[in-house]
Chain A
């Protein structure tokens, strides 16, 4: 019986083990999706967790693959899971030390769309966070240059939100030629 338990614990990924030891109060849920470890982390501790994942010498998730978000406003089951947080900010990390990939998800409520920027940890987060801001309207606190990156500067709204109409609100027929710096 004891032996079996030991085997089970050994097969548990190192990252989950370490997060449970050092950041157990930040973990909201953990899962596995197609071979990738997924952890859901409380927003106020997200930066600390990400910093830990990057700087811990054994884990060393030094490569930030992607930052994006998911709008769950039309997914009742997803919404209920994390206290009706409309958005889920997603960080994909990769470790060259053999730990592979991990996905960190952070629930963000619609009434408080700010989250700490990780540009201090990964320079590459700069444009990724700008894209997430542009498409979803998530505000990244401490970002050095948070402005739109894909849409024109005078664009209104955040088009990847589920309540944004696919064909837009008439932007493609009437937009200002003069306003934009060509």
Chain B
């Protein structure tokens, strides 16, 4: 099996479908035609650019350039985590907790996979590093965003209960124990569900891509399995780090609950 190259014409044909969708939206007065077209144009531009950037990266295998790309990916993911918080930490912590836990989990798991599992030579070969890191960042990002959001929102609502436990002489970790556990659980549920239904409902995106590009299905399945395990580990580690740092930051050195460190609900 070999890969069938897509010509610009093939893509133009597919884009006609999007135009048709926009036209239908206009006819049915759904009012989303503008947004459909803008989103389609954005994805075309962004993916073309990423394709070009990766082409340059793959041709050079230069560590500084790859590091720069990884940094850009991390900072965008960090921003996204911050944006998804109803009540986020004020100051640098709002950005820092999410980014640092993503950095710790995604980068270490990617490194582990590259050196010990896949055994790429050199370990930073971009054809492996960039897609792996992207998958991990994308998934840990959702897990961490959900877990952190859950932690801060529930702590905000349970202020009376947390302080009652502090007044009863419990230390801060005991006082926030329930909320912390719930936050961690909520962050892990998406990946656990994804593993549980993998292959039964739909083929995961990466496996689909490999099959379309001509890989034997068993090879694609093995890679997908590897990725899923990595994502599960990365999401778990990342959510734990974020929830730990976040809950620590909710209390000060005298073990007072410091909800004033959270910024109020601004968005949504």
Chains A and B belong together in one complex: no
